[in-house]
Structure 1
Amino acid sequence: MKVLKFGGSSVRDHHNIKKVLEIITKKSQEDKLAVVVSAFGKTTDNLLKSADLAQGKNEEYLAILNEVEKHHYETIEQLDLKNSSDVIEHVNLQFNQLKTLYKGCYLLEELSPKAKAIISSFGERLSSYIISEAAKTKLNATFKNSQDLIVTDDNYLKAQVDFETTYSNCSTFFSENSHQVVILPGFIAKCYNGQTTTLGRGGSDYTASIYAAAIHAEELQIWTDVSGMFTANPSIVKQAKPIQHISYEEAMEMSHFGAKVIYPPTIQPVREMKIPVLVKNTFEPEQAGTLIALNSDKSSPVKGITYVENISLLTIEGSGMVGMSGVSKRLFEALSDDEINVILITQASSEHTICVGVLEEDAEKAVKSISKKFDNEIDQHKIDPVVVESELSIIAIVGDNMKNHQGLSGKMFSSLGKNNVNIRAIAQGASEKNISAVIKRVDAKKALNTLHEQFFGDNIKQLNLFVTGVGNVGNRFLAQLHQQKEYLHSQLKLNIRVIGISNSTKMYFDEEGVDLENWKELLLNKGESTSLDSFLNRAKQHNLRNSVFVDNTANEEVSKMYQHYLENNIAVVTCNKIACASELNNYKTLKKVSSKFNAPFLFETNVGAGLPIIDTLKNLIASGDRVHKIQAVLSGSLNFVFNNFNDNVTFHDIVAKAQEEGYTEPDPKIDLSGVDVARKILILARESGYELELSDIDNNSFLPQESLNTSNNEEFYKSLTKFENHFQDIYAQANSQNCKLKYVAEFENGKAKVGLQHIPSDHPFYNLEGSDNIVLFFTDRYPIQPLQIKGAGAGADVTASGIFADVIRIANN
């Protein structure tokens, strides 16, 4: 014989009930069945909500009750019951009784536990009767009230079962039963004097387990709306996977710590009888589901990651606790006396502190209980007043085989630490089947996804990007991400999602990942108004693991936001040079904040676009080398300009072409004034370990002062036309000496300068073509023949590829 239990979502309406009857029909062809059903979905919640309203003399209780009644009658009608008039008469009698109870609550303004148990029992009493009548039209089925079989004490709302009497009742009934299918209500029972009791919310699972144990069933099947127990809550962790095989102990641990697929007490009766439990999906019955049995497979040391929300952490501490016997006993007695469930316990080895985790709703009562128990010690300052921290969650990894694998705790806490998830308390049992940590509730989603990626990610790491600036560089960056998506996943084991994008006026977010084929349309048509603060706040609100802010702008105000992102454990990748070339204290602060909050700050594209200049320099310094001298052509735009400028073209036209092809900043004066190059050599000097300010860079500009003083691009280009003879003279002087014009940056002996130079034909810079950059590092290891890096140093594509490379560096960190 098998026992099947169907939850509230499985019997929510007539559509679902018909699916349930199909399953029962198929299963009954193989075995005799005891079928336990819950109330129709949300019925019990609505009954209790109505009762609370009635107690408060709020007549809105009638509206809710009428909706419940209407739903039951509609279900009867849709199920096409042959004797529907008898069924309606029976259900009508039940609702009349229920209305009488509500009227009493309303008049007396009282809702006792006894009344609450009776009211909440009606959901299962109604559903089981209606479903049994529907089953009789198709099967050899009968109805049996669980209150005739399950006997409990008089704790009305969470009754304790008298197993000896209950098992005897069940054995007698089922041995005499001749029907192929018996339909029974879950959740409800009766105490010794015949009064209605309930087995606690979720008690229908427990009911089914009791029957399975009582009749030594071949199997207990729990039918719900998910395909078994998952490695994590699939509504929070999209990558969660069904667990095929799990042990009783693992299932108990996971259900205790928030896995809502199965009610925690359910496991104990079947575990004692070694009856396997199969968790199945009513709506996808072909799915394998999860088998809960004596032993689990040992393919993975961690079987699941789960959590409990709305936790308060109570701390009792004081020097008077050290060496004082009986403190723990008195503490837990106080909580037990007031029926407060302790979810987590941790105690320092110094005996100076004990922490307990309780549900937030019990925190105030718990503080009063503890304070009363230790009032003398608190008055004498031997023990401090109880400290309460709320808005917390407990997150736990569970697995029977964890004790045989080293380093799991390290992996758990390291991965949480990298994502700036602060741990308030830790608990680990000696059996090592559970490692629990108390964290902020707002970090629970991030923590669950972080741990799932660590233990179940198939080595796939997910990065979540927030991208500001979708012009030339940003556009190419998003295109490269889209193009390389499959390669990143298959070859580098990376899943990179763009969660948010913004331009100067709009922003658009999608936590599942912005569609990179249609991001322009989405931003245009569905984007909302943006600001620097609002974009930051949305990124913070998402609170996702492995978050990266990508700045594709050249905007100073955007660069001022970096510290805020880093302080929220959001990495920063930028091609914007302003931050790293700002005041030295700001540069140092960004570096310190990056280190403190474990949030990478990468800016490879600040110098040389996609060339690995900064990364190479960092590796030199990290390996103990010292930089003495740097010579470089660092402006792809200026190199392009002077490689193409001659006496046959105007300087104005060449600069305009450079801007058109994306080689210059939006304001080309930044490039031509030498400020951009000065920033770059400053960044290289700082990364080499030297402390310089931008004002320390000697900038020998070739532009006339009038050009430098212009306030917009239109004025700037007019000035270039006005001073065309000046630029032609510069070209003629170089040409007469058989030299080429190169804008060179130099750093030596702690000093730096930038300016236009005549480069002779035997110089390494002479044959530098197009928009290429070149850097020569003279170091302890490269004193005469410098380390040379050369290649394309400007353009949207190469800059975007450099940003892409920095994102990959973060992923590989």
Structure 2
Amino acid sequence: MSLIVAKFGGTSVADYEAMARCADIVLANPSTRLVVTSASSGVTNLLVALAQTGLPESQRLALLKQIAAIQYAIVDRLPHNDEVAAAIDSLLTRIDVVSQQLQHEADKALTDELLSLGERCASILFAAVFRAKGAVAEAFDVRQVLRTDSHFGKAEPQIGQIREFSQKLLLPGLASRLLVTQGFIGADADGHTTTLGRGGSDYSAALLAEALEAEALQIWTDVAGIYTTDPRLAPNARPIAEISFNEAAEMATFGAKILHPATILPAVRQQIQVFVGSSKASEKGGTWIRHQVNNPPVYRAVALRRDQTLMNLHSLQMLHSPGFLAETFATLARHKISVDLITTSEVNVALTLDKTGSQSSGQCLLTEALLQELSQHCRVRVEDNLALVAVIGNQIASTPGICQRVFSVLAPHNVRLICQGASSHNLCILVHEAEAADVVATLHRALFEAP
């Protein structure tokens, strides 16, 4: 059976009209058998607000009312909706009960259950929209197959178990009906609801596609594919018809918002092609991400990642002395700090911090305990308000003239760090945050718009 997994983001399932439009996209291709949905736009933010302890009762009730209004605006458009309404009422009651429990004491497991209820509502409603269009469709509880550890808030998927349970419990049903399931959520070995972290719906869809050995994964969002850069920074940015996994992974890593960075990993493992398109304008096409593409260009895109922290370590102990870097990285590892980019000289190490998935700023990551430990064997200088600009492409390290072309347009700007050579797919520069937008626009004009 040829199988396509389609994932729809929050704006794609924001209301009845959006769901109906997405249902038409799915039903146009009989191979699309599994649909993965996010919560309707705005619902997760409301649930996050509800999860706060000590919330005034009037505010809690107002949040519950807003969530119910979003769900019932869809229910009211459905024919023969009594059964659907009862299911939504049950989930809304659960939201009420769990949010009351969280008012008295913070609990990560209960918080994950609360946050999962947005996706659970959306899957029930989306399945009903499919049925209203004549499809044989039902909601499927992804917690039956998407097993994780018990790290609530950012659970780690158990790849082997996901494959085993998906093949046993999910795959057989896809032959006879369309199944609508939830992104972002899973369950641990004890059956407790877990979440994969914000942005985890793409990851969920990729994990399921991998487990089911799907032919393709479609990610439907509000943007018509991947662009050469953010169109808000460069109005002449253009969509990319196809891109390799390596290029897409680089773009995701260095700030492209279209994909969750981890989404690429399951697709790479199974060599599943990924399509990214706009559910609001499916006729415009989108971007195919494939294992390999023909004739990849030297320049593919310019990516931007803001809110960067640069840490400079200076020590004369580095001079012809082994072990300094090993000791430094061991210290960082003990404090759960992941290094992103690094450059070295005889007595200095400059590095940026990888804050992917973190809600914290760089200063919060660099705790006083960490800085004190590092200062025992080097002088530490920290610089914030920086942004990382990455030129993404192919054979960058071995193509003559790349650096000259890139840096000739950066003369007016103060470049704080340069990293090139570790990967053939990127050239990275660190600049001041205030200059970042201008740097991206200038580079895009020079690399993609010049005759």
Instruction: Identify the TM-score tier after normalising by the shorter chain.
Output: over 0.9
Secondary structure of the residue aligned to 1:229 is coil
User: How much is the aligned-residue C-alpha RMSD, in angstroms?
Assistant: 2.0
CA drift of 1:351 comes to: 4.2
Whichever residue aligns with residue 98 of structure 2, its letter is L
Whichever residue aligns with residue 371 of structure 1, its letter is L
Residues 435-474 of structure 1: pairs in structure 2 closer than 5 A: 435-459=427-451
Secondary structure of the residue aligned to 2:235 is coil
- Pick one of 350, 357, 368 that aligns with 1:354: 350
- Is 1:221 paired with 2:215? no
Residues 261-410 of structure 1: pairs in structure 2 closer than 5 A: 261-298=258-295, 300-342=297-339, 344-359=340-355, 361-374=361-374, 376-377=376-377, 383-384=378-379, 386-410=380-404
CA drift of 1:222 comes to: 0.8
Given the superposition, is the C-alpha separation of residues 25 and 57 from structure 1 closer, same or farther in structure 2, using an over 3 Å criterion? same
Name 2:22's counterpart in structure 1. 20
- Is 1:4 paired with 2:3? no
Secondary structure of the residue aligned to 1:159 is coil
Q: Deviations over 1:563-583 (max 9, x none)?
A: xxxxxxxxxxxxxxxxxxxxx
- Pick one of 124, 127, 130 that aligns with 1:132: 127
Query: For structure 1, which segment, 184-193 or 297-306, has the greater mean C-alpha deviation from structure 2 after superposition?
Result: 297-306
User: In 2, are the aligned partners of 1:187 and 1:202 still within 8 Å (CA)?
Assistant: yes
Whichever residue aligns with residue 129 of structure 2, its letter is A
Given the superposition, is the C-alpha separation of residues 330 and 368 from structure 1 closer, same or farther in structure 2, using an over 3 Å criterion? farther
Given the superposition, is the C-alpha separation of residues 64 and 161 from structure 1 closer, same or farther in structure 2, using an over 3 Å criterion? same
- Pick one of 151, 158, 166 that aligns with 2:154: 158
User: In 1, are the aligned partners of 2:227 and 2:240 still within 8 Å (CA)?
Assistant: yes
Given the superposition, is the C-alpha separation of residues 358 and 206 from structure 1 closer, same or farther in structure 2, using an over 3 Å criterion? closer
Name 1:77's counterpart in structure 2. 76
Q: Deviations over 1:588-615 (max 9, x none)?
A: xxxxxxxxxxxxxxxxxxxxxxxxxxxx
CA distance in 2, matches of 1:216, 1:271: 12
TM-score w.r.t. length of structure 1: 0.52
CA drift of 1:455 comes to: 0.9
CA distance in 2, matches of 1:61, 1:390: 37
User: In 2, are the aligned partners of 1:335 and 1:366 still within 8 Å (CA)?
Assistant: no
Percentage identity across aligned positions? 26
Given the superposition, is the C-alpha separation of residues 406 and 116 from structure 1 closer, same or farther in structure 2, using an over 3 Å criterion? farther
Secondary structure of the residue aligned to 1:220 is strand
User: In 2, are the aligned partners of 1:140 and 1:181 still within 8 Å (CA)?
Assistant: yes
Secondary structure of the residue aligned to 1:402 is coil
Aligned residues: 443
Given the superposition, is the C-alpha separation of residues 392 and 427 from structure 1 closer, same or farther in structure 2, using an over 3 Å criterion? same
Whichever residue aligns with residue 184 of structure 2, its letter is F
Residues 628-647 of structure 1: pairs in structure 2 closer than 5 A: none
Name 1:115's counterpart in structure 2. 110
User: In 2, are the aligned partners of 1:232 and 1:305 still within 8 Å (CA)?
Assistant: yes
Q: Which has the larger radius of gyration?
A: 1
CA distance in 2, matches of 1:454, 1:273: 37
User: In 1, are the aligned partners of 2:317 and 2:324 still within 8 Å (CA)?
Assistant: no
Secondary structure of the residue aligned to 2:395 is helix
Q: 4+ residue stretches of structure 1 with deviation over 6 A?
A: none
CA distance in 1, matches of 2:117, 2:187: 13
Query: For structure 1, which segment, 345-354 or 436-445, has the greater mean C-alpha deviation from structure 2 after superposition?
Result: 345-354
The answer for unaligned runs of 5 or more in structure 2 is none
- Is 1:190 paired with 2:187? yes
Residues 738-749 of structure 1: pairs in structure 2 closer than 5 A: none
RCO comparison, higher one (Cα < 8 Å, 6+): 2
Whichever residue aligns with residue 438 of structure 2, its letter is K
CA distance in 1, matches of 2:303, 2:176: 41
- Pick one of 414, 425, 437 that aligns with 2:408: 414
Q: Deviations over 1:458-517 (max 9, x none)?
A: 42xxxxxxxxxxxxxxxxxxxxxxxxxxxxxxxxxxxxxxxxxxxxxxxxxxxxxxxxxx
CA drift of 1:120 comes to: 1.6
Name 1:201's counterpart in structure 2. 198
CA distance in 1, matches of 2:310, 2:425: 22
TM-score w.r.t. length of structure 2: 0.92
Whichever residue aligns with residue 396 of structure 1, its letter is A
The answer for unaligned runs of 5 or more in structure 1 is 378-382, 460-813
User: In 2, are the aligned partners of 1:147 and 1:188 still within 8 Å (CA)?
Assistant: yes
- Is 1:431 paired with 2:428? no
User: In 2, are the aligned partners of 1:32 and 1:180 still within 8 Å (CA)?
Assistant: no
Name 1:65's counterpart in structure 2. 64
User: In 2, are the aligned partners of 1:340 and 1:362 still within 8 Å (CA)?
Assistant: no
CA drift of 1:369 comes to: 4.6
